[in-house]
A = this chain, B = another copy of it.
């Protein structure tokens, strides 16, 4: 099938997926977990072949680690499926109900979005996770994984399709794209695909956002700031700075910039420098920082760069306002934190910074669907519409308006024979 035919088939499948009950979907998830466990050897063999070829092609150690799908990963994805089964069905929830007039009742009910296109890099476990999230939320999925994981992805997708098929899910609800060209074509199929979820590097996500008319859920950059206010508890600020920068540097919610209020800058730098040196963090700084500490001079590019590495750039600011302006100018609207004992300063920071996640006296690293208690994470979004920050299953849902009448017509209301009551009601739809 061509990409267009696949997308068209996905659209048809999505109509049927939307009608599946919670029980049917959970049975399918259960069947998938069993099928994956039963086919472990075949999965590991395909993955071993992917790993062998990737090593031959000189993939670096972190990339090989992401590509590996072993017993531990299998156990992890199966545990993920088990917990997904336990989550409430996001579909079919009555979000509001209004009696427009006697016998004319309006319900806003959650439903699947339709066809989700997901493009992810080399982790085969992402395929399992995203397929199951789409299934639980009643969506059809078109998936494109990293080419290094081709063999692993094929076997995993086959296991998932086979199990879901036996459990009554419609044909073509899950399809695998295998070439880069197919992704290019997918980005144009706005007639059939309703949402694209890209997972991967910032260049990659930016490329997708700029080359598609389809809505994209995700984030390109995670340029996260920690601002240490004049009224900060400096010991707390130090622990938060270390955690935000160093606890895991290769992720989008790690801090990349540190903004220091001028009143505490000198004292805090004295505390910070040895800790950062100990952890091998390269410090870069604005002119004022350079005058107080031995740091690499920061360039304008530094403020806009997500390092995902042991690098931290420091700016000394005159005021909270300057910190807010700097973040709104250079940040990515992902996660920014203030450390302060002053509640008013924290409130101003959280109100004025335009971002998905604004944190007060805690590490930026908490910005994560699991830590937020969302149960399952679709991704982290820096969009300004639909879903923002860590996105759970509800990011794959939208709603329908259902209006139940007894023959009402608008002419009666337009001509004054009847009037709307618009009373909120509490009752189940249909």
Contacts and interface: CB of A to CB of B under 8 A. Distances in A.
Interface of A: 14-15, 18-19, 98, 100, 104, 106, 113-114, 194-195, 209-210, 213, 215, 217, 233, 236, 239-240, 242-244, 247-248, 328, 343, 346-347, 350-352, 354-363, 365-367, 371-373, 383-386, 388-390, 398-411, 413-414, 420, 422, 430
The residue among A210, A213, A328, A408 with the most chain B CB atoms within 10 A of its own CB is: A408
A377 to B, nearest CB: 13
A278 to B, nearest CB: 15
Given A213-B213, A356-B400, A362-B405, 15 more contacts: A14-B354, A19-B351, A106-B372, A106-B373, A240-B407, A247-B414, A346-B404, A350-B402, A358-B402, A360-B403, A361-B407, A362-B408, A366-B410, A372-B401, A390-B401
A357 B213 CA distance: 24
Contacts of A104: 362, 366
Given A357-B400, A403-B362, A430-B350, A113 B414 contact: no
A410 B363 contact: yes
Given A15-B328, A194-B384, A366 B399 contact: no
Given A114-B384, A398-B384, A400-B350, A366 B408 contact: yes
13 contacts: A15-B352, A19-B352, A113-B385, A213-B213, A236-B407, A247-B411, A358-B400, A358-B402, A361-B405, A362-B405, A362-B406, A386-B386, A389-B401
Contacts of A373: 98, 100, 106, 420, 422
Nearest to A339: B407
Contacts of A383: 215, 398
A205 B205 CA distance: 27
B401 A385 contact: no
A359 B403 contact: yes
A244 B411 CA distance: 9
Nearest to A109: B350
A244 B347 CA distance: 50
A4 to B, nearest CB: 16
Nearest to A424: B373
A8 B274 CA distance: 41
Contacts of A404: 346, 359-362
Nearest to A324: B15
A385 B113 CA distance: 7
Given A19-B352, A373-B98, A388-B398, A407 B360 contact: no
